Structure 1
Amino acid sequence: MEIPIGTKLGINNKLIYAVVFALLTGCQQQEANENTSAVKLPVYQSNGISASARLKGILEQKQECLYVNDILIIFPEHSAKWDSEKEALSYKGKHIRLGSELDITGGSGDFEQDNLRIKHLSPMCDHQKIWFAG
């Protein structure tokens, strides 16, 4: 029994679509996993003096960066760590998970003036509003 050519093409197209769909779904899941665990903490070298204003809000992750109220948080060098398994920030003896409230002192910055002080800033971070944690 011979299968008509049109039917063979239909089966091949369905197979191709299924494979492409499976690959795309896998890539999207991998990207989602990478986005939730890959955090790069931008830092600055502190001279021991910091502003004493307060920033309070929910700790959020966008791309590879941590924000509170859409403000990018920049930490003093060697003061903060990210735990990708727990999705938590360790800072000044506290552990703050994503979605929890972060209450942090410091002061706002101006990226145009302060960018030379900042290290490890991912190009994926939105740095229109920045906060130097104190």
Structure 2
Amino acid sequence: MNTKSLNTRDERGAVGIKAIIALVIVGVFVYAGIQLIPLYWDHWNFEDEVTTNVQFAYVNYDREKVQEALTAAIYGMLDKIGAQYEKKNVRVKVDNNTKKITVEVWYSRTHNFPVFPPNPKPFYIKVENTPIS
């Protein structure tokens, strides 16, 4: 009986199973990336847009209407990315004497990745800006 050929045949089957398992694992990571990376990408872009709006608020808006204009702009940005939020969780504080602006936003986004709790995923940003005197 030829035992060498029998063992070689068994090893080839084991390699095939390992390759399938490796492909399944890679597939899970790719699916996770497709589901989660856009959420974080939108969060970083949202934070960047809010920071830019806060930095140029006194240039772009009337001094008396800075708070209302920033709040409306933030609502628009949140709607644009499809975020779930409550208006009480969008806080814009403006001190016209020192021109200090503080923005805090809590919002959430849903995803379709079942093993990544919580769903919806909560996000938070806090942006402060005080101009140079």
TM-score (norm 2): 0.37
* Structure ID, larger Rg: 2
Q: What's the TM-score, normalizing by structure 1?
A: 0.36
Q: Which has the higher strand share?
A: 1
Per chain length, whose mean CA-contact separation is higher, i.e. which structure has more relative contact order (CA < 8 Å, sep 6+)? 1
Q: Which has the higher helix share?
A: 2
